[in-house]
């Protein structure tokens, strides 16, 4: 019944939302979600409608218990203001941020664009956020409600901080947010901060990861770009094993623009930025498979990029993903779709004779 209503009504809701500027409707939606997360009656109703409580979906990854495998990717809750809502909306976990050491406004608007024909987004937000100290105050707030899920802190470099001082900038964010989060994700892969992706080079990445690992006692992950060469993917994977990094988030948005349905002129009018959604799905899956062959079982893998269907989610799990993330698919599909995905994964597990999701991870590669 709920799925049928969603198929009928959500396209109308989406059409109405798309009448407004992308960043404005994002701000409005984020405010509504935040308020719902702290309204007792509303959050209980949300949990009843959207959350999936199925033991077969529960998994322990890098020592953290996840009630369901699909989490909210970084980029939506940049201010850590809605952490109490994401579990009630059906997510098994959420990443806040990206948070930088210092508060910053991000890039000039317009900086967020829709490609409806591709069910995709282009953004060049530039890590607009209130800074680590303000985000820490938000993370420290109580989280009442029927569903409590792990929260990861995604940290990046402040734009005005020189690359040579990046280690100190990451250190401050990690030390400030680490004690309040369930895990920390080091983001060196956004295309919207000048010089940031250069930090994915092993020689630059090593001191950043080593420093973050040194100042927090929570699991540390690193988020990589889909635009890395296969050799660089291997190098980051090997470094993760060497340093004892808990996991790799693969992948961020892409700077590529090939294979789009949207007319070229319309895409070019959007300008620079990271492309997310279905256009990045194939490369995200390729990177996941490569990582699993290289470090599967030794480093947890979180797959993100273009996941919209049960088939895609199941394929990622069987290819080696311990956890999954959504952002663009959540925008285009809505929270009911998230519940459908979780229920679909549970059905696939039972049909395959698995007693838990852990047994299915990497099954296609074994």
Instruction: Check the annotation: does 170 bind a ligand.
Output: no
Contacts 24+ apart (CB under 8 A), 161-169: 161/101, 161/102, 163/195, 163/198, 163/199, 163/204, 166/199, 166/204, 166/208, 167/207, 167/208, 167/211, 168/101, 169/100, 169/101, 169/102
Instruction: Check the annotation: does 282 bind a ligand.
Output: no
Residue 91 sits at φ, ψ, to 5 deg, of -75, 145
Say whether 190 is catalytic: yes
Instruction: Check the annotation: does 129 bind a ligand.
Output: no
Instruction: Check the annotation: does 334 bind a ligand.
Output: no
Instruction: Check the annotation: does 6 bind a ligand.
Output: no
CA angle (221, 214, 250) in 5-degree steps: 10
Instruction: Check the annotation: does 253 bind a ligand.
Output: yes
Instruction: Check the annotation: does 37 bind a ligand.
Output: no
Query: Do residues 121 and 62 make contact, with C-beta atoms less than 8 angstroms apart?
Result: no
Q: Measure the CA–CA gap between 152 and 133, rounded to whole angstroms.
A: 16
Q: Measure the CA–CA gap between 126 and 111, rounded to whole angstroms.
A: 9
Beta pairing, strands 59-61 & 64-66: antiparallel
Instruction: Check the annotation: does 254 bind a ligand.
Output: no
Indicate which residue of 81, 82, 173, 190 is catalytic: 190
Instruction: Check the annotation: does 75 bind a ligand.
Output: yes
User: How many residues are listed for the chain in this entry?
Assistant: 366
Instruction: Check the annotation: does 127 bind a ligand.
Output: yes
Instruction: Check the annotation: does 84 bind a ligand.
Output: no
The binding site for FMN consists of 74-78, 98, 154, 187, 223, 251, 277, 306, 327-328
Instruction: Cite the active site residues.
Output: 190
The binding site consists of 74-78, 98, 123-127, 154, 187, 192, 223, 251-253, 277, 306, 327-328
The binding site for substrate consists of 78, 123-127, 187, 192, 252-253
């Amino acid at each position: 019944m709920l799925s049928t209503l969603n198929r009928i009504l959500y396209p109308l809701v989406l059409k109405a939302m798309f009448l407004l500027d992308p960043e404005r409707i994002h701000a409005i939606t984020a405010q509504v979600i935040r308020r719902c997360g702290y309204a007792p009656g509303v959050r209980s109703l949300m949990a009843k409608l959207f959350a999936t409580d199925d033991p077969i979906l529960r998994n322990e990854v890098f020592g953290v218990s996840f009630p369901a495998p699909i989490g909210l990717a970084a980029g939506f809750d940049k201010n850590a203001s809605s952490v109490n809502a994401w579990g009630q909306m059906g997510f098994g976990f959420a990443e806040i941020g990206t948070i930088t050491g210092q508060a910053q406004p991000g890039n000039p608007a317009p900086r967020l664009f829709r490609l409806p024909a591709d069910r995709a987004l282009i953004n060049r937000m530039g890590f607009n956020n209130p800074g680590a100290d303000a985000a820490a105050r938000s993370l420290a707030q109580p989280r009442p409600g029927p569903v409590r899920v792990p929260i990861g802190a995604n940290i990046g470099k402040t734009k005005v901080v020189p690359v040579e001082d990046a280690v100190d900038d990451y250190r401050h964010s990690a030390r400030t947010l680490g004690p309040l989060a369930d895990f920390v994700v080091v983001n060196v892969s956004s295309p919207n901060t000048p010089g940031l992706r250069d930090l994915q080079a092993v020689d630059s990445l090593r001191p950043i990861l080593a420093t973050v690992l040194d100042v927090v006692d929570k699991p540390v992950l690193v988020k990589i770009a889909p635009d890395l060469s296969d050799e660089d993917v291997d190098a980051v994977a090997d470094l993760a094993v060497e340093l004892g990094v808990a996991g790799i988030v693969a992948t961020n948005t892409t700077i590529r623009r090939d294979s789009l349905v949207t007319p070229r002129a319309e895409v070019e009018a959007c300008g620079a930025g990271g492309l997310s959604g279905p256009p990045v799905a194939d490369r995200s899956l390729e990177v996941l498979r490569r990582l699993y062959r290289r470090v599967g079982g030794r480093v947890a893998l979180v797959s993100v990029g273009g996941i919209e269907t049960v088939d895609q989610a199941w394929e990622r799990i069987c290819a080696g993903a311990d956890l999954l993330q959504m952002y663009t698919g959540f925008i285009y599909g809505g929270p009911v779709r998230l519940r459908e995905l979780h229920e679909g994964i549970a059905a696939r597990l039972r049909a395959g004779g698995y007693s838990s999701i852990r047994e299915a991870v990497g099954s296609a590669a074994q």
